[in-house]
């Protein structure tokens, strides 16, 4: 225990009683009594019980090791050391961030050209709190003003090791409360990766989304532990667990997510996505969308399978959210509407809910508070072939006795939405009472439909 105690003592002054200090203490508590320099075996990737839409390419073993140096002082930027090790071990090697070591990243890292490489992260990695630098230098991702600390892309890349990435989010939560237009970085940017895995890691205190997966194919996320709530009165907002965008054959599985926005969200042009075996707490559900945000765009979310989800203390369980056919403003930094596209072949199966506002929500009036206007200008985006089955548990008091909401902006843009085996109960004991509109109620098996004003809640 000598290493832990001395290192913790050195860092106490630098970190103070902050969320970052809490994350670092958590990292230390998971270390063995005697830390040794070693390489972790790459975790086995298996798909159970559901299989991905397409077979994943095999990843060969690596032939050499490169250990990343560190200043180990929690102050000095270690980015040059990281880039040096990656350059030496790219094309066939393993980069090792040793156990018990700390790293500071204060430089936006372009890791977009990786090839046949493993990143074995056993260490604690913290991104600096220089908000001016990151707003000016983070990688801009075009969608919803997202930026990332780094871009991890290329071919055949595996990241694992049991370590922790800390986004130093508290300063961002407080800054966003004062200025909603700041550019908050995503903790883990998987951008343009074709064949790879990210597994057995802990993500803490992301300024915005925890994962943004864009322009990528054949990537699996497994055994990821996400957490990081604000320790001030300023809520950690938009901290989605995963957002997928312009990507296909992505698997997200066997993970625990404690956050304050979508547990997983399928953004435009997400296809062949499998999500299974997740524990989600405090989220906005497993969400298709939002879609149709940008006029002139054609958004597709198609062939998505969601299986075996435990959802706690959330706004939604299974959710589809589409902007209307007219511009709308949900907030100053989130507005849109008028885009086109389709949602097709979406399956949610086996979801357990506890204290969730809506067990199921389908809306085509996302962001539009003027429901008359939404109905006058129905969504340009169609929703077809959606099956939601075996959802059970309890809802919150927010919409009691209503437990779900399935409302389209026009019957011409919604078809074949099926609900089966739904058993959700409001706190007063009312079971399966939903708000319904412009859908085929005969396909909502066992649901008691109440027709109320159409539109978003």
Tell me which residues are annotated as active site: 284
CA distances from 10 to 6, 287, 378 (A): 6, 43, 60
Q: Residue 6 corresponds to which tokens in the numbers above?
A: 């001395």
CA distances from 429 to 51, 433, 445 (A): 37, 10, 19
Q: Among 42, 46, 86, which residue's Cα sits nearest to residue 61?
A: 42
Contact 32, 58 (CB under 8 A): no
Q: How many CA atoms lie within 13 A of 451 on its CB side?
A: 6
Separation of CA 366 from chain center: 19
Strand ranges inside 46-130, DSSP E: 64-67, 93-97, 102-105, 109-121, 124-127
**DSSP SS3 for 6:** helix
CA distances from 18 to 13, 170, 182, 272 (A): 11, 8, 22, 40
**How crowded is residue 258: how many other Cβ atoms within 10 Å of its Cβ?**
19
Contact 220, 201 (CB under 8 A): no
Q: List Cβ neighbours of 74 (8 Å cut-off, separation of 6 or more).
A: 11, 14, 15, 102, 104, 126
How big is the chain, counted in residues?
457
Cα–Cα distance for residue pair 8/163, rounded to 1 Å: 17
Q: Among 198, 220, 190, which residue's Cα sits nearest to residue 56?
A: 220
Query: ∠ CA(299), CA(192), CA(340), 5° rounding?
Result: 5
Cα–Cα distance for residue pair 203/354, rounded to 1 Å: 24
Q: List Cβ neighbours of 388 (8 Å cut-off, separation of 6 or more).
A: 318, 347, 348, 349, 360, 418, 419, 420, 422
């Amino acid at each position: 225990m000598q290493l832990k105690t001395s290192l913790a003592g050195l860092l106490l002054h630098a970190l103070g009683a902050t969320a970052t200090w809490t994350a670092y203490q958590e990292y230390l508590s998971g270390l063995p009594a005697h830390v040794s320099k070693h390489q972790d075996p790459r975790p086995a990737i298996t798909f159970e019980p559901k299989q991905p839409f397409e077979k994943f390419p095999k990843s060969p073993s690596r032939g050499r090791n490169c250990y990343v140096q560190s200043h180990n002082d929690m102050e000095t930027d270690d980015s040059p050391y990281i880039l040096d090790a990656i350059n030496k071990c790219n094309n066939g090697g393993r980069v090792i961030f040793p156990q018990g070591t700390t790293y500071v990243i204060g430089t936006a890292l372009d890791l977009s050209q990786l090839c046949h490489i493993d990143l074995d992260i056993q260490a604690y990695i913290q991104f600096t709190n220089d908000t001016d630098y990151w707003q000016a230098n983070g990688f801009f991702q075009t969608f919803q003003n997202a930026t990332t600390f780094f871009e991890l892309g290329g071919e055949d890349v595996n990241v694992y090791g049991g370590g922790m990435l800390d986004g130093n989010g508290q300063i961002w939560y407080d800054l966003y409360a004062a200025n909603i237009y700041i550019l908050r970085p995503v903790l883990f940017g998987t951008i343009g990766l074709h064949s790879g895995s990210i597994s057995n890691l802990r993500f803490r205190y992301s300024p915005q989304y925890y994962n943004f997966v864009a322009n990528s194919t054949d990537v699996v996320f497994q055994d990821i532990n996400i957490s990081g709530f604000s320790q001030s009165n300023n809520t950690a907002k938009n901290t989605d667990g995963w957002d997928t965008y312009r990507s296909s054959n992505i698997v997200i599985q066997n993970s625990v997510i404690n956050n304050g926005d979508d547990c997983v969200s399928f953004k435009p042009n997400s296809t062949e996505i499998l999500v299974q075996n997740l524990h989600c707490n405090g989220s906005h559900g497993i969400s298709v969308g939002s879609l149709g945000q940008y006029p002139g765009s054609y958004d597709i979310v198609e062939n998505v399978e969601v299986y075996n989800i435990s959802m706690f203390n959330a706004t939604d369980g299974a959710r589809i959210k589409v902007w209307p056919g007219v511009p709308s403003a949900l907030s100053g930094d989130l507005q849109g509407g008028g885009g086109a596209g389709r949602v097709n072949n979406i399956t949610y199966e086996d979801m357990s809910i506890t204290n969730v506002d809506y067990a199921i929500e389908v809306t085509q009036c996302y962001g539009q508070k003027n429901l008359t206007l939404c109905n006058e200008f129905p969504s340009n985006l169609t929703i077809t072939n959606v099956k939601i089955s075996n959802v059970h548990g309890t809802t919150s008091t927010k919409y009691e006795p209503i437990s779900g909401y399935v409302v389209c902006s026009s019957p011409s843009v919604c078809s074949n939405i099926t609900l089966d085996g739904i058993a959700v109960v409001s706190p007063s004991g009312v079971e399966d009472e939903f708000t319904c509109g412009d859908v085929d109620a005969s396909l909502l098996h066992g649901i008691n439909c109440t027709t109320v004003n159409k539109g978003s809640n």
